[in-house]
Amino acid sequence: MNRKRVILILFGLFLTLSSFSQEAEEDIEYLITINTEYGKIKLILFDDTPLHKKNFINLVKSGVYNHITFHRVINRFMIQSGDYKTRNQPIDYDPRVIQEPIKAEILHHRLNVHGAIGAPRRGDDVNPERKSNSTQFYIVQNYKGAHHLNGKYTVFGQVMSGFEVIDSIAAQPTSNKDVPLKDIRITTVIEQVSKADIEKFYNFTYK
């Protein structure tokens, strides 16, 4: 077998393996678990909001979300977390993982439905580009959604299970500034699963 033919065979094998690897990667989902004293909330992140997805994964893997609180809770609306300043443990992560505000990825088909994961931000008067806070996130608790937020905030994920946990957190007594009177702390875990399993076990359809 001449050298040219060997090179062509190896190149073809490389293309086949690369294609297989890409297909396998596209079938993989990151399933994130938020652990609380009320139970577990499991969520996924959307591929079509890649900046927010990558950032959130990096924060989880780095441990930024461990030992912080749900610091804003409004029953029949949403619960909010992600403020690293609420941490009650010494910092054990690289602070450089925390970015500047993230470019908005507001998509018309990503709505603030029940269980949607969205990114809080500063108001339009000081943030006309609607850039997202780089660590904080909210979870829509209202069963009818929070559609007055559509088109104004980036929605980058969806809860798969733990809706009863969200309700329990939302029901906790708060101050007149919507801060829970008792700290509700979280830890986070990330795992890789197939998208087929997500659709099967959570009755979820990708779009």
Q: Give the DSSP per-residue string, 43-100.
A: EEE-TTSHHHHHHHHHHHHHTTTTTEEEEEEETTTEEEE--GGG--S---S-GGGS-S
- Mean pLDDT, the chain, rounded, equals 92
Residue 83 belongs to some domain of the structure:
yes
- pLDDT > 70: what percent of the chain? 88
Give the structural domain span for 149. Answer: 28-202
Say whether pLDDT at 18 is over 50.
no
For residues 111, 108, 137 and 52, what is the CA-based torsion angle, rounded to 10 degrees? 140
Say whether pLDDT at 11 is over 60.
no
Using pLDDT thresholds of 50, 70 and 90, give the confidence band for residue 19.
very low
Quote the tokens at residue 110.
């990503």
Closest to 167 in 3D by CA, of 75, 105, 93, 102: 75
Task: Please write the tens of the pLDDT for every residue from 21-63.
Answer: 444 567 999 999 999 999 999 999 999 999 999 999 999 999 9
Using pLDDT thresholds of 50, 70 and 90, give the confidence band for residue 20.
very low
Say whether pLDDT at 13 is over 80.
no
Task: Please write the tens of the pLDDT for every residue from 55-102.
Answer: 999 999 999 999 999 999 999 999 999 999 999 999 999 999 999 999
Residue 1 belongs to some domain of the structure:
no
Residue 10 belongs to some domain of the structure:
no
Residue 19 belongs to some domain of the structure:
no
| pLDDT value, residue 207 | 84
Mean pLDDT, residues 150-174 taken together: 98
Q: Based on the structure, what is the number of domains in the chain?
A: 1
CATH number of residue 51's parent domain:
2.40.100.10
Residue 136 belongs to some domain of the structure:
yes
Residue 143 belongs to some domain of the structure:
yes
What number of other Cβ atoms are within 10 A of residue 130's Cβ? 19
| pLDDT value, residue 152 | 98
- pTM for this prediction: 0.88
Which residue has better confidence, 36 or 17? Answer: 36
Residue 102 belongs to some domain of the structure:
yes
- pLDDT > 90: what percent of the chain? 87
H/E stretch holding 124 reads none
Residue 21 belongs to some domain of the structure:
no
Using pLDDT thresholds of 50, 70 and 90, give the confidence band for residue 111.
very high
